[in-house]
Amino acid sequence: MNEFNGFTIPDKYKELLTKVREEQIKNSEQISLENKLEFGEIVTIAGLDVSFSEKDDFACAGIVVIDFRTFEILEEQVEFFSPPIPYITSFLHYRESPGYHKVISKLSEKPDVMIYDGNGLIHPYGFGLACQMGLETNLPSFGAAKKLLFGNYEPPLDRGGFSEINYDNKIVGAAFQTLELPAKSVFISPGHLVNLNLCVNIMREFVLHQNYPSKLPLPLNLVDKLVREKLLGEI
C-alpha cells in the first residue's frame, strides 16, 4: 500500500493513481470559492449521483435538474458506464466522472448549480469530486455526503441548523441537520464557484420547503432513486 497524507493507494493502482494525485494537487490551486451567482439569482439546480452493480463492474450515472423556485423537475438524464477503478478514498472523481461528464453533455441547458453525492473541500488535498467536476465544467458545484471523511464539528441541535467542520485550522465544510435528531447530519462542502454560506442557504431552502422530509436535499434524493431504478432495469 502507498501512503498519501494518511490515505492509502493499493499497490495495484499505485502507478496510475500517483499521477492522478499529482494532478489533484496541481489543479487544486485553481479552485475559486467566490460565488458565481448569488442566492436570489439561482433558477435551476441539479443533483448528480452514481449507482453501482453488485459486482462493481457496471454503473449508472444520473442527473436531475429542478426549478429552484417551484421544485418542479425540468430534465433528467442517465448514462451507463464501466467504472475504471473500485472505490478508493479520495479518488471518487476518477471513478465516477466518466459517467457524470456523459450525462451533463446530454442536457439541453446547463444548470446554475450542481450538487454532487460526494465531497468538495473535504478531501486530503482540498480537491474532492465536487471541486474537480466544478473546475472541469466551470459550473458552481458543491458536495453533500452522508459520511464525514475527516474533520471536527459540534453536532447541530435543530433541523435546518448547521455547524462548521474544521480541519487543520481551516473551515472545510458544514454538518447540516436535514432531519430532526437523532438523525445524523449531512456533510456539505464547497466545490467550485460557491462559498460555504451559499451552500448552507441552498440546503436550508430544500429542508424547509421540499414537500416531504428527506435526509438528502431534493435533487439528490430524486437522482438517487433514478439511478437505482435504471440500474436495476438494466442488469
pLDDT of residue 155: 87
Give the residue from 192, 214, 83, 41 showing the smallest Cα distance to 127.
192
CB 51 within 8 A of CB 95: no
From CA 231, how far away is CA 51, in angstroms rounded?
Answer: 7
Structural domain of residue 12, as residue ranges? 2-31+38-234
Give me the CATH number covering residue 201: 3.30.2170.10
pTM over 0.85: yes
Confidence of residue 1 (pLDDT cuts 50, 70, 90): very low
pLDDT of residue 211: 85
pLDDT at 6: 62
173-189 confidence digits (pLDDT tens):
999 999 998 999 999 99
In the block, residue with C-alpha cell 453488485? 54
User: How many percent of the chain have pLDDT more than 90?
Assistant: 89
**Per-residue model confidence (pLDDT) at position 2:** 45
The count of other CB atoms within 10 Å of the CB of residue 72 is 9
What is the band of 235 on the pLDDT scale with cuts at 50, 70, 90?
Answer: low
Count of structural domains within the chain:
1
Average the pLDDT over 44-57 and give the result: 96
Condensed to tens digits (0 to 9), the pLDDT of residues 97-143 reads 999 999 999 999 999 999 999 999 999 999 999 999 999 999 999 99
pLDDT at 5: 56
Decide: 119 and 149 in contact? Cβ < 8 Å: yes
What's the rounded Cα separation, in Å, for the pair 186 and 164?
A: 12
| 3-state secondary structure labels for all residues of the chain | CEEECCEEECHHHHHHHHHHHHHHHHHHHHCCCCCCCCHHHCCEEEEEEEEECCCCCCEEEEEEEEECCCCCEEEEEEEEECCCCCCCCCCHHHHHHHHHHHHHHCCCCCCCEEEECCCCCCCCCCCCHHHHHHHHHCCCEEEEECCCCCCECCCCCCCCCEEEEEECCEEEEEEECCCCCCCCCEEEEEEECCCHHHHHHHHHHHHHHCCCCCCCCHHHHHHHHHHHHHHHHHC
Judge whether residue 215 has pLDDT over 80: yes
Give the residue from 107, 114, 111, 112 showing the smallest Cα distance to 79. Answer: 107
Distance between CA 120 and CA 117 in Å, rounded? 10
